[in-house]
Every structure is written in structure tokens, then in C-alpha cells.
Amino acid sequence: MAVASQAEIQKSVRAALKEGRHDEAKVTLAAALDRWPDAYWMLMLHAEVLKASGDLAEALAQLRAIHERFPDKHWAAQGVIRLLFEEDRQAEARAFFENAVWTSTVPDETKSQMITALSPRRGNLDETIAFLGRLLFASPGSPAVLTRLAMIRARQGLWDEAVSLLDEIAARGPVPEHARAIQADLLSGFGRFPEMLVIARELAAAHPHRVDYTHRVILALSGSGDHQEAAQVLKDAAARWPGDWRVLFRLNRIVPVQPLWDEAFAIIEASFNPATTYARSLFQFAVASLRQGKTEQSLIALDAIAQRGLASTHADPLQHVLGRFSPEEWRARMRLADDQTAEVQIVGVEGADTTIVIFGGIDFGLSSLPFGYVDALLSSYRANVVYLRDFAFRAYFEGISSLAPTAEQTLDRLREILERLGTRRLITIGYSVGGFAAIRYGAQLGAQAAISFGAPTTLEEEFEADSKPGVGYRPKALKRALSFRLTDETKDLVKDLAGTSTRVFCHYAAQYPAEVAHSNRLRDLDNVELRPLNISDHSVAMRAIADGILDRLLVEEIGVPVK
Amino acid sequence: MHVESMTLPVLASQPPIERRMRTISFRLRTFRCILEMLRPGIGGGLLVDLGAGPCLFAKLAAKEDFRVTAVDVRPPWNIDGSPLPLESLEGIEFVQADACKFDVSGFDIVSIVGLLYHLTLDEQIDLLTRCSGKTVIIDTEVFDDTAMSESARERIFPPADAREYNGIDWLETDHVWSSKGNRYSFWHTVPSLLRMFENTGARNVTMFGPQYRSAHGPRQWYLLNVPDIAG
Ligand SMILES: C[S@@+](CC[C@H](N)C(=O)[O-])C[C@H]1O[C@@H](n2cnc3c(N)ncnc32)[C@H](O)[C@@H]1O
């Protein structure tokens, strides 16, 4: 009888294992090990047999012994870690990795994969960070560890630290590609748009089919103030991914440079099909249509959302508000040809001594309602209206660039406008960050009333309310992006309100912890009225309009005359 | 082995519902395009769909006039994870069995859709070897270090025994859509996957574009041994 080779024996042991004949596998293997007591893969197979037959402790001991005998080969060490990991013995797995693998000659890619598996972004992150810290201590500057640490810091919301870790990696060499998208997002949170742009462009060039990378390019261009190119890239993206919600979302949030902006919308519109469009895109499409003055088309999109039975915190109240008039009546009531490219638009009313100033928010309207529609609603009042947008995306902290270069001078320009309109009484209104501006500018301009909806009251990003998850927006990211150039004193609205006579009507969602916490900061001020609405998301402005709360406030409490 | 790339006229759609449904819809339309290339003559081609799960692909093949046997190690389930009543499987035959042991020799076409990456490397090699010469439709996750999602990264392990192949070991869960019980399955890189096709006897491979993404990373469709190209 021919003598079986090692390979043949291994094959037959594997076959026996596969069919559950563990004892037979053990016998065959024992004989082979007598003959080749030092054969690495035969020893490894022994561990495999032990594991397959449920003898985990023995399998582990065997693997450890192999690793001690053959420290240059990493398979046994890897086997130990995997076994421990499978048994949820994470601490032991980490300890073994630190002692036996980290400083060994195991290939870098293998180490890096293991580090990731051994440091998940859930569970006890303090222990995870301590583990990574120990690895760094043994090999300072390791890109694999720094990257992992950055990912975990980002997950914890400790962005400063995440960014400086990534900067540290970048200073030593290339940042691993998988971390680059996250790096780009973090940089945007710090207003470092030109750096973000470099990364986003590289990612988009390397992966032209990834709409999320192109989305980041547009965001970075906008943030860098290159609105022309942002609109161009957006238009190209619209042609490639016409129904993608990110493209529509960007369409609603970039500075509308014409004719590119209208052209991009036309491309999207041409292939729009309410039956096949993704719900999130439908909402963005509805808003974009309104900005083009296309009420009927917007209603079709909103209807499609409703018909699918999807409750949508933003679409429902928008649909409700639009239902107030027929499309013809909306058109008839609008006194303003809503110019999306204008930062300032004024509607003067003969004989009015009240002026309402609306601070447009991140999508340049009052919540999702574009100014044309806001104006149709306000047309029943004897009041002038001034509509503002901030194309610098700074929530008006740096003024309105088409009025003046600074906030100070912008206030002067606004005073002139108000005077020209014959203003004896001023009311400011804004939603979200626009609400913050409405309160701040209102106080400075001596407004009788400032009306805010879901507005933050401090841009101090460490303010704890923001770490709680909310629906629909990431207040922390937004505030960080807005406020990175502000001094600490100018981040807090409480200081603005002390000693002013402006009455603040602060509307917020009673079941949205972040909004509650922000609003509560104003609770002790005499001139502030807190107005909770019984909702749990960031849609308080649209709800207040839909439910007539804003109208009642203006007429019954503030006394704005009705025509 | 002859390798060819082909872009299917399937748009990555923005269909009604959420991401998971969108992906399924895209995959079904891709599958239909591939089936159209293989349309059976009278009597119907015998197709076995391995790892059939909710049997959406099996049903689609039946609608396209194939005679379909669906095989899964689990009883059929709905996409929400609940059990699927057998009577809803009219028109196809369902067999509860391990694909690694199921005899595929009597079939003309083997479809391995959403299954290959739930098998160990040995099982993959063994299954494809048993399929060699047949027309095989494959839809699978592939490993690309630059394109995996962050959550996927935490389930990736260096391979215990990859031999001449490249890829990673993927930590399985115990969901209905996962492996039959193996804790790890093997995910190839694209070149490694092609090498495995070649080593297990494929004469030609068509790779279908566009590559698309799951929650984990890139995925791709392949067709092995298209009859007319095989010539
Ligand atoms: C991700 S699901 C794919 C389902 C369906 N083919 C699809 O693509 O939508 C994987 C399916 O493969 C099945 N499966 C996993 N390992 C199997 C095996 N060894 N034999 C048969 N089915 C298996 C699972 O039960 C599960 O239903």
C-alpha cells in the first residue's frame, strides 16, 4: 500500500470533519502527527479538529502552543484571536493581540483588519480607546491605529480629536481611502472646505459611479464659495442621477446660480415620475418645485408620499399648508416674483407702519416654504415684508453680503430699509438657525416681537442637548459649521436678550429633547414666552403655520392689522 | 478562460420604497435581463436556484418560462424575515437542503444569487466544481478594501486559510439571510473570484456592470459558461 502524503492525509481529515466523523478524523490525525510531529499545517489541522468537535479549550491551548513554537508564522495567533472573539472573550483577544501579534511580523493588512474587528464602534468605547492607546504606545504613529481611533472619536462626536488624528496621519503619509470620506465630512464640520474639496474630488474621480462622493464635491464647492462651479457640478450630477435625493437636496441648498440652477431642475423635472421616485427625493422635489412656483407639481409629489402611507414629518404639514388655497389663488396672492438669487427682497405696502422681516433658513425659505408662498400668506396683513437669505451660510452672523460686508453695517442697511418703509413697529420671524438670527437681529433692531421656531439658543457645540439624537438634522454638525468663526460671547442668545424690550415667542417641539433644552435656556427671561408644540421632530415652523398658530399670534397677540 | 464585461440596460432606480427594496428591485431587473439572454426553448430550461430564501428570483425565473427548483437550507422566508407560506410558491418546486450537498447535475442552469458569499472557501470551490460546464448565474458581494462600509469593516477578519486566493473571512450572523451555520464565510476580491471561476472549470465569464452596492460594499453579477460564447 502506498504511503499517504501529508496533503492526502489532510484532505481525508477534512472530508471526515465535513461529514461529522470527528473520531475518525482524530485517529487519522494522531497517526500523522506521530510521523510528522513538526508539520505546521498538520498541527493547525489538529486545532481545527479539536474546535470542530467542540473542545474549544483544547483547541485554544493547541493554537497557543503552535504560536509559541513557530512565532514567525501568524496563522496560529490569528486562530487564537478568532476563537476568543467568537466566544465573546474580547478582553483576552485584545490582550493576545497586543502581546503576540501587534509587534510581530504579521502582514500590516492582517493587523489592520484585526484592529478594526477588535475595536467595534459600539460597546464599551473607553476600553476600546484604552486598547488602541496601548497599541499606539508600542508603535507610535501607526496609521492603522490612528485611523481606527479617529473613526471612534468621530462616532463619539469628538470631532476635534478625530480631525487632528486624521491630520496626524496625513502628515505622515496617505490616509487610508476608507477613512477619507469620513475625513471629508469632518473637515466640512470645521469649515475647512478647500481641504475637503481636494479629498472629495479625488474620491469622486476614483469612483465616478458614487453619487455620494459627487455630493461631497458640491458641498465642498459651496462651502468654499465657488457657487458657479457648485452649480455646474450639480447640473452634471442631475443628468447622471436625476432622481437621486442627494442631488435634489443639494439643488435646494446651493446658492442658485443661474441659468445652471434652473437647468439642473429642468433635467430632473424631465425624468420625474411620482410612481417610481424614492420618498426622500419626492419631498425634495416638492420643495424644489415650489421654488419654481409650480404648486401643482409640488402637490403631485407630496400626494405620492401620502399615498404610500409614509408619515412624513415635513411633507404632511407642507401639504396641509398648500391646501389652504388653490394653486391659482396662491399665484394671485403672491405679491413678489420670488427671485431665488436675491438675498434681499422687499414688499412695501401702502400706508403700513408694521414691517415683518423673515430670516430665511438653510433652504432659503421659511422652513420648507419658499418666500413666494410665505408672501401669499402674509398678504392678508397690512404690513411690509422684508425677505432675507444668507448666501454665505453663516446664519447672518457675518451680515448679508449683498447689503454690506459686516454684520454691523448690515444692521445699518436694514435700519435704512425699515425707515424707508415707514416702519414704526418691527416683527422678525425665523426657523431653526434663521430663528436664532431673527432673535439676535430683532433685539438689535428694536423689534417689538421676535418669533422663532425650533431655534437653537446657543451655538456652543458642547451644549449637551445636542448630543441627543433628533429627527431630520444634526444640530451639532450644523452649529459647528456655523459658529466656528464666532467668539464665545457671540454664541449665546441669552446675552442678546438681557435688557431689551423685544418680546420673544419661542416655539419648540415639546418632545424633542434638543429643542426643549435649547428653549429652556430662555425660561427665566421676562421678555421670553415659551410656546411648546406637542410634536417630537424639527418641523415646528410648518406645524405652526399649518395649524394657524402663527396667524393667531400675529393678529391676536401682537396686533398686526388685517387688511 | 475568456472574460467579458457587459453593461446591462438596468437603471439603478429610485423606486418607491426604502433602500432595501430599491436594491432588491434593481437586482430582480438585472436577473431578468440575464435570464432573457438564456431564454429557454419549448419545455423550459431546468433551473435550480440555490439559497433561494424568499424565492423572489425563483418566481421570476418561473415567470420567464424556466422550470424552477428552489433550494434553501431554511424554510422559505419573507423579506421581513417572517415565514413564507408554501402555497405562495406556486409554479416552483421548493427543496429544503444544503446547497453544498444538493445534486445539481440534472439542471441546465444554476443560479447562485446572494449565496456564494455565505459559504466557506472550500464550499465555494466544491460547489462551482460540481457546476463546471453548466451555465451559472452568480450575484455576490466582493471585497474591496477601499469601498467597504464602516460597519462592514468590523465583521472582516484576515482569512484563516485563503490558499492561492485573496479576500477576507466575513463574520456571519444568525439572521435568516445568512449562512447555514458557518461562523465565517469567504469574500473574494474581484480578481480572486475570477481566478476561482477559472480554477473550477469555467470556460467564459461575463461580468455585468454596473457594480452596485449593498449595505456592506460592492456587489456584482456574473454569468459563467454562456452557451453561445462557449461555442
Ligand atoms: C442573502 S439570502 C439570499 C436570498 C435570495 N437568493 C436573494 O438573493 O434575495 C441567503 C440565503 O441563502 C441561504 N443559505 C445560506 N447557506 C446555505 C446553504 N449552504 N445551502 C442552502 N441555502 C443556504 C440562507 O438560508 C438564505 O435564505
Per-residue pLDDT of A23-40, as tens digits, reads 999 999 999 999 999 999
pLDDT at residue B40, rounded to an integer: 76
Residues of chain A with pLDDT under 70: 1-3, 310-311, 461-488
pLDDT at residue A45, rounded to an integer: 92
Is A209 within 8 Å of chain B by CB?
yes
Q: Which strand (E) or helix (H) includes residue B199?
A: helix B190-199
Atom number in ligand 1 closest to CA B74: 25
Is A335-557 assigned to CATH 3.90.1150.10? no
Q: Which residue has the cell 504606545?
A: A137
Between positions 316 and 345 of A, the ones with CB within 8 A of B are none
Pairing mode, strands B109-113 and B135-141: parallel
- C-alpha of residue B221 to centroid of ligand 1, in Å: 16
Pocket of ligand 1 (CB under 6 A): B 50-53, 57, 71-74, 98-100, 113-115, 118, 176-177, 179-180
Q: Which three cell numbers stand for residue A410?
A: 448690515
- C-alpha of residue B48 to centroid of ligand 1, in Å: 13
pLDDT at residue A128, rounded to an integer: 95
Question: What is the distance in angstroms between the Cα of B22 and the nearest Cα belonging to chain A?
Answer: 9
Question: What is the distance in angstroms between the Cα of A311 and the nearest Cα belonging to chain B?
Answer: 13
> Are A114 and B145 a contacting pair at CB < 8 A?
no
Instruction: Give the DSSP per-residue string, A354-371.
Output: EEEEEE--TTSSBTTB-H
Question: A22, A68, A69: which is closest to A46 by C-alpha?
Answer: A22
Q: Which strand (E) or helix (H) includes residue B154?
A: none
* pLDDT tens for each residue of B104-156: 999 999 999 999 999 999 999 999 999 988 999 999 999 998 888 888 999 99
Burial of A163 (0-12, 13-18, 19+ CB in 10 A): buried
Atom number in ligand 1 closest to CA B139: 8
- C-alpha of residue B138 to centroid of ligand 1, in Å: 12
Question: What is the distance in angstroms between the Cα of B211 and the nearest Cα belonging to chain A?
Answer: 9
- C-alpha of residue A115 to centroid of ligand 1, in Å: 30
End-to-end CA distance of chain B: 13
What CATH code would you report for B2-226?
A: 3.40.50.150
Which residue has its alpha carbon closest to ligand 1 atom 26?
Answer: B177
Burial of A20 (0-12, 13-18, 19+ CB in 10 A): exposed
Q: Which of B18, B158, B171 sits opposite A110 (nearest CB)?
A: B158
Q: Which of A78, A207, A277 sits opposite B14 (nearest CB)?
A: A277
Cβ(A95)–Cβ(A131) below 8 Å? no
Residue B34 sits at φ, ψ, to 5 deg, of -70, -40
Cβ(A336)–Cβ(A387) below 8 Å? yes
Q: Which residue of chain B has the CA closest to A206?
A: B146
Q: Which residue of chain B has the CA closest to A175?
A: B146
> Are B17 and A113 a contacting pair at CB < 8 A?
no
Instruction: Give the DSSP per-residue string, A7-55.
Output: HHHHHHHHHHHHTT-HHHHHHHHHHHHHH-TT-HHHHHHHHHHHHHTT-
Instruction: Give the DSSP per-residue string, A93-121.
Output: HHHHIIIIITTSS--HHHHHHHHHHHS-S
Q: Which of A14, A116, A308 sits opposite B156 (nearest CB)?
A: A116
Q: What's the rounded Cα separation, in Å, for the pair A523 and A32?
A: 80
Length of chain B: 231
Q: Where are the domains of chain A?
A: 335-557
pLDDT at residue A186, rounded to an integer: 84
| Backbone torsion region of residue A269, taken as left when φ is above 0, otherwise alpha when ψ lies between -120 and 50, otherwise beta | alpha
Is A73 within 8 Å of chain B by CB?
no
* CA–CA distances in Å: residue A202 to residues A87, A187, A215, A232, B195: 41, 15, 13, 18, 30
What is the amino acid identity at position A509? A
> Are B17 and A82 a contacting pair at CB < 8 A?
no
Question: What is the distance in angstroms between the Cα of B195 and the nearest Cα belonging to chain A?
Answer: 21
Average pLDDT for chain B: 89
Q: Which of B13, B14, B146 sits opposite A178 (nearest CB)?
A: B146
* pLDDT tens for each residue of B177-221: 999 999 899 999 999 999 999 999 999 999 997 778 888 999 999
| pLDDT tier, B43 (very low <50, low <70, confident <90, very high otherwise) | low
pLDDT at residue B19, rounded to an integer: 63
Question: What is the distance in angstroms between the Cα of A113 and the nearest Cα belonging to chain B?
Answer: 6
What is the 8-class DSSP label of residue B172? Answer: -
Model pTM? 0.80
- Contact residues on chain A for B150, CB-CB shorter than 8 A: 121, 151, 178, 182
pLDDT at residue A5, rounded to an integer: 86
> Are A82 and B168 a contacting pair at CB < 8 A?
no
Q: Where are the domains of chain B?
A: 2-226
Cβ(A135)–Cβ(A98) below 8 Å? yes
Cβ(A7)–Cβ(A41) below 8 Å? no
Question: A107, A172, A162, A88: which is closest to A132 by C-alpha?
Answer: A162
> Are B153 and A116 a contacting pair at CB < 8 A?
yes
- Contact residues on chain A for B168, CB-CB shorter than 8 A: 113
